[in-house]
Amino acid sequence: MYIVTGGAGFIGSNLVHELNREGITDILVVDNLADARKSLNLHGARFVDYMDKHEFRRALAAGSLGLPRVEAILHQGACSNTLVDDGVYMMENNFTYSKEVLRYAIAMDAPLVYASTAAVYGLSGPGRFSPTLANERPLNVYGFSKLVFDHYVRRLFERGAVPVTVVGLRYFNVYGPREQHKGRMASVIHHFSKQMRESGKVRLFAGSGGYADGEQRRDFVYVRDLCRLNLFFAGIGLPAAEQKTYHAIVNAGSGSSRTFNEVARALMAVHGEVPVEYIPFPQDLDARYQHFTEADLHALRQTGCDYRFTPLEEGVRETFEVLATS
C-alpha cells in the first residue's frame, strides 16, 4: 500500500495521478474534504481506499490502521494557507501531524517523503536559498511550522534515529493542473490565466523591492516535477538494485528564477496576446513579500538526483493541455 496524505489537494492529487502512470493503484488517499471541490482533483484517478484525515490520525494513535505493509508514504497533508494566523491550528496540522506520520513510517519500515516549503527562507535575497540555518527566517507561522518539523527531523538524523528514507522537499512556487480550488493561494499562473479570460488583460505589480515593472523574480516549479522527485526519493519505479536510503532536506525548485513578465509571455503563448497593466505594489505587503526566490540545488544534486526540471514555457503549455482533457 502507498499512502498519500493531502491526496485530494493540489500536489497530492497530482501525485496520485503520477502513481497511476507508474501502474500503481494500491493507494490510500488521506485528506479532509470539508472543501468538497477538492474531490474533483481525483476524477479519473485510481486508488483503493480513502480516509478522512482525522480518522487516519486516530488510527495512527491507536495503532489500528491495520495495513500489513506500506511501500511508501508521500506526506503532503498540511495547512498551506499562508494567511492563517492561528498558530495553534497551524502547529497541530503541520508539525504534530507530521511527527505522527514520521513515527508510523519508521514503525512500518517505509520511506517517507514529506512537503516542506521555501517559505522557511523568508525575505532572503539572491544566493541565500540553500538549506542552511543561516538562511532560514520564515515570515509567518506557516513557514515556522514547516521549519520546526525540518529541525525535528534534522535532530533525528544527527542521533542516527531514522533507519528508513526520510526526505523533506522544500517546494518553491508550484504551478500546474488541479489547483483551482486553492483560491487566493493558487499560483500566479492560475490567477493570470483567469485575468486573461475574464478581463482580456493581465495585471502585474509595478516596480518594487528594487525590481522594475513586472521584473520581480520567482522560482516557478511545475507540479509534475515535484511528483517525480517524490517518487525518486521513495524509490518508486526504480529497480531494487537502484533503491537507496536517503536522509535529506533539500530544495525542490527549478533552480532558475523567472520574472512575472516572462510568466505573462508564456501564458500569452497559450491564450493569445493581451495588454499588460502594471498596478501599484501594496505597501502593506512590503515587509512580507518575496520579491525573489531561486532554489539552490546543490544539496539536491549531492543526493545523486540529477533530475531535469521542466522549463517554464513547457510546463505552462502542458498545464493547459492537461486541463483541456481532464
* Tens-digit pLDDT profile for residues 106-133: 999 999 999 999 999 998 888 899 999 9
Our answer to whether residue 182 is catalytic in this structure is yes
User: CB neighbours (10 Å) of residue 237?
Assistant: 16
250 vs 306: CA distance, rounded Å: 13
Is the pLDDT reported for residue 97 higher than 80? yes
What is the per-residue burial (b if ≥16 Cβ within 10 Å, else e) of 19-28?
beeeebeebb
194 vs 35: CA distance, rounded Å: 21
276 vs 59: CA distance, rounded Å: 52
Is the pLDDT reported for residue 256 higher than 80? yes
- Kindly report each contact of residues 191-197 with a partner whose C-beta sits within 8 Å and lies 24 or more positions away, as own/partner: 192/263, 192/264, 192/267, 193/267, 193/271, 193/320, 196/267, 196/268, 196/271, 196/272, 196/274, 197/271
Q: Using 50, 70 and 90 to split pLDDT, how confident is the model at 147?
A: very high
Our answer to whether residue 142 is catalytic in this structure is yes
Question: What is the chain's alpha carbon radius of gyration, rounded to the nearest angstrom?
Answer: 19
278 vs 264: CA distance, rounded Å: 12
pLDDT digits (tens, 9 = 90+) for 35-55: 999 999 999 999 999 999 999
With a pLDDT cut of 90, the percent of the chain lying above it is 86
Q: Which three cell numbers stand for residue 309?
A: 526540471
Q: Using 50, 70 and 90 to split pLDDT, how confident is the model at 254?
A: very high
Catalytic-role residue among 182, 211, 278, 289 = 182
Q: Which three cell numbers stand for residue 211?
A: 525590481
Q: What is the pLDDT of residue 79?
A: 83
CATH class of 2-176+221-255+294-310: alpha beta
Q: What is the pLDDT of residue 56?
A: 98
Distances (CA, A) of 286 to 35, 119, 172, 261, 292: 31, 16, 20, 20, 13
**CB-CB contact of 207 with 215 (8 Å):** yes
Residue 236, classed as helix, strand or coil, is coil
Residue 168, classed as helix, strand or coil, is strand
Q: Using 50, 70 and 90 to split pLDDT, how confident is the model at 88?
A: very high
Q: Which three cell numbers stand for residue 205?
A: 505589480
Q: Which of these, 310, 197, 211, 313, lies nearest to 263 by C-alpha position?
A: 313
Domain with CATH 3.40.50.720 in the chain: 2-176+221-255+294-310
Give Dmax over CA atoms of the chain in angstroms: 58
Distances (CA, A) of 214 to 79, 97, 139, 217, 218: 29, 38, 23, 8, 11
Catalytic-role residue among 142, 175, 222, 246 = 142
137 vs 124: CA distance, rounded Å: 8
217 vs 162: CA distance, rounded Å: 37
CATH number belonging to domain 180-216+256-288: 3.90.25.10
Q: What is the pLDDT of residue 146?
A: 97
Q: Quote the crossing angle between the two packed helices 312-325 and 188-199, to the nearest 10°.
A: 60
Residue with cell 502513481: 19
Domain with CATH 3.90.25.10 in the chain: 180-216+256-288
Beta bridge partners, 222, equal: 175
Q: Using 50, 70 and 90 to split pLDDT, how confident is the model at 303?
A: very high
CA–chain centroid gap for 127, Å, is 22
Lowest mean pLDDT among 145-154, 170-179, 234-243: 234-243
Residue with cell 503520477: 18
∠ CA 19-26-232, nearest 5°, is 35
